[in-house]
């Protein structure tokens, strides 16, 4: 047996020694499903891999977009008076944004997204009559908006806070 590592993932393929590498040998990776081909030409061994399934790479920018999508879905739920579903979507959005903020606490885009998520949560709590949670959320928004120097956002939150 000879062993060949999959070029895509950490799996190792076992190739029988008696295989005729000059003609070429193919195998399938048990972890990622890629097709791996081996062929010996002169004294060189050529290895190629073909992915049968796409690899998903989720960058921080993609994660931020996913969080905003959850926030937009929450807005649609709120418009349909599906408050529990809206809060659940905002919880997912907040979890993603908090994870990104841990990595990069000075990123204004992430902080702005967190402010938006807190604002939407506060609106829902306000609409439900949950004054305590609405106040807490609006105060968090004001704090974030002042940190971001977003005077308009802070002003709107202060006005809504006074109405509670």
| DSSP-H helix ranges across the chain | 60-79, 83-103, 108-128, 131-147, 151-163
* pLDDT reported for residue 46: 74
* CATH ID of 2-50, from 3.40.50, 2.60.40, 1.10.150, 2.20.28: 2.20.28
User: What values do phi and psi take at 82, rounded to 5?
Assistant: -95, 75
Report the 3 state secondary structure along 17-60: CCCCCCCCEEEECCCCCCEEEEEEECCEEEEEEECCCCCCCCCH
User: Hey, where are the domains in the chain?
Assistant: 2-50, 60-163
Please indicate whether the domains covering 2-50 and 60-163 agree at the CATH topology level: no
Per-residue pLDDT tens for 23-39? 666 777 777 777 777 77
Cβ(28)–Cβ(50) under 8 Å? no
Most confident range, picked from 12-16, 55-59, 71-75, 144-148: 71-75
**Per-residue pLDDT tens digits for 77-127:** 999 999 999 999 999 999 999 999 999 988 999 999 999 999 999 999 998
Provide, rounded to the nearest whole percent, the portion of the chain with pLDDT above 70: 78
pLDDT band at residue 9 under the 50/70/90 scheme: low
For residues 82, 83, 85, 90, the Cα torsion angle rounded to the nearest 10 degrees is: 140
- Kindly indicate the confidence band of residue 164, based on its pLDDT and cuts at 50, 70 and 90: confident
Question: Are the C-beta atoms of 100 and 63 separated by less than 8 Å?
Answer: yes
The reported pLDDT for the residue numbered 62 is 83
CA distance 52 to 44: 26
What is the torsion angle, in degrees rounded to the nearest 10, for the CA atoms of residue 119, residue 120, residue 123 and residue 127? -160
For the beta carbon of residue 16, count every other beta carbon within 10 angstroms: 8
Question: Do residues 99 and 62 lie in contact, with contact meaning Cβ atoms separated by under 8 Å?
Answer: no
For 60-163, which CATH superfamily applies? Tetratricopeptide repeat domain (1.25.40.10)
Full-model pTM = 0.63
Lowest-confidence segment of 58-67, 104-113, 143-152 by average pLDDT: 58-67
């Amino acid at each position: 047996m000879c062993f060949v590592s999959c070029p895509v993932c950490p799996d190792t393929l076992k190739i029988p020694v008696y295989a005729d590498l000059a003609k070429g040998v193919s195998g399938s990776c048990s972890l990622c499903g890629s097709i791996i081909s081996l062929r010996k030409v002169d004294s060189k061994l050529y290895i190629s891999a073909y992915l049968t399934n796409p690899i998903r790479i989720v960058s921080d920018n993609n994660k931020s977009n996913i969080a905003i999508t959850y926030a937009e879905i929450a807005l649609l739920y709120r418009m349909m008076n599906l408050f529990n579903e809206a809060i659940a979507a905002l919880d997912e959005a907040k979890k993603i944004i908090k994870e990104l903020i841990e990595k990069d606490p000075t990123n204004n885009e992430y902080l702005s997204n967190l402010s938006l998520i807190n604002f939407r949560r506060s609106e829902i709590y306000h609409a439900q009559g949950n004054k305590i949670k609405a106040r807490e959320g609006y105060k968090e928004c004001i704090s974030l908006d002042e940190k971001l120097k977003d005077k308009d956002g802070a002003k709107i939150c202060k006005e809504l806070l006074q109405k509670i």
